Amino acid sequence: MFITFEGGEGAGKTTQINILKKYLEDQGLEVIITREPGGVTSAENIRAVIFDNEIDPITETMLYAAARREHYIKKIKPALDAGKIVICDRFIDSSIVYQGIVRSVGVDLVENINKYVINNIEPDLTIFFDLDPEIGLKRVSLRNEQMNRFDKESLDFHLKVRKGYKLLSKTRNRFVLIDASKSIEEVTKQIINIMKISGVVK
Ligand code: TYD
C-alpha cells in the first residue's frame, strides 16, 4: 500500500505522517515513512542542489525526477515488495503541480517523465492537505526552521500551488481532500476516517 501526502507549505503533513505511522503500527501493520525530495542519500544530495541554487524549471524537473528514481528504486519499491505500507511526504504530484503547472513546464511532460522514472506505478491513495496559503505561510514563519527558497515565494505562487492541487484532485480518483485548517486532532480524525473507508484498517 503506497500512500502519499501532498499540499502547500505549512499544511501539517509531517506532523500527521508521524501520527498516522504510530496509529497504523498500533494496528499491527508494518509502516515506513519517507519524504521527497530525498529519502536516500543520493536523493538527499540532489535535494541540496535543488534547494541551494536558483535553477531553470526544466533542470529542476529533471533533478526532482532523478531524485525520485533513486528514492523509488532504493527505498520505496523494496518496501512495497516486502508488503509494507509506505507513507511518503510529497511524490509525483508535487512535480506535476510545482513544476508542471506553477513553473509552466507542462502537466503532460512532467507526468510522462515521472511515470517513466517510477516504472509507471501510481500511489494507491493521495491525501491532499487543502489550506489557505496565508495560513500555511504564517505557520511556516512561526516554526524554528530556516525557510527554503519555496517558502519565500510570493503569495501568488502559493495560490497557484493550491489551485493546481485542486485541479488534480478533481481528475484523479486516488486523491482525497482534507481540510488542513482544522486542529491537529481534527485533521487526524479525517485521516483515520480515510484509512477506514479505503480499507487500510478495519
Ligand atoms: P520541504 O521543506 O521539504 O517540505 P514541505 O514543504 O513539504 O514541508 O520542501 C519541499 C519543497 O520542494 C516544496 O516547496 C515543494 C518542492 N517540490 C517540488 O517543487 N517538486 C517536487 O517534485 C517535490 C517533491 C517538491
Cβ of 126 closer than 6 Å to ligand 1, yes or no, is no
Beta strands in 8-107 (DSSP E): 31-35, 85-89
* CB 23 less than 6 A from any atom of ligand 1: no
Question: pLDDT of 64-117, one tens digit each?
Answer: 999 999 999 999 999 999 999 999 999 999 999 999 999 999 999 999 999 999
Could you tell me if 71 and 34 are in contact, meaning their C-beta atoms sit under 8 angstroms apart? yes
Q: Is the CB of 64 under 6 A from ligand 1?
A: yes
* Cα distance between residue 108 and residue 89, in whole Å: 22
Q: Say what angle helices 57-71 and 41-52 make with each other, to 10 degrees.
A: 160
User: What was the pLDDT predicted at 151?
Assistant: 74
User: CA–CA distance from 120 to each of 113, 117, 123, 172 (Å)?
Assistant: 10, 8, 10, 15
The residues near 168 (Cβ < 8 Å, ≥ 6 apart) are: 93, 96, 97, 128, 175
pTM of the model: 0.96
What is the pLDDT, as a whole number, of residue 177? 97
Q: DSSP state, 53?
A: S
**pLDDT tier, 144 (very low <50, low <70, confident <90, very high otherwise):** confident
Question: 90 CB under 6 A from ligand 1?
Answer: yes
Question: Residue 18 C-alpha to ligand 1 middle, in angstroms?
Answer: 18
Atom of ligand 1 nearest to the CA of 65: 22
Instruction: Find all residues with CB under 8 Å of 37, minimum gap 6, and list them.
Output: 43, 44, 46, 47, 50, 63, 64, 67, 68, 71, 90
Cell numbers representing residue 147 in the block = 525557510
* Amino acid in position 126: T
User: Coil, strand or helix: which one is 61?
Assistant: helix
Sign of CA dihedral 190, 192, 194, 196: negative
Among 17, 69, 98, 158, the mutation site with the greatest number of ligand 1 atoms within 8 A of its Cβ is 98
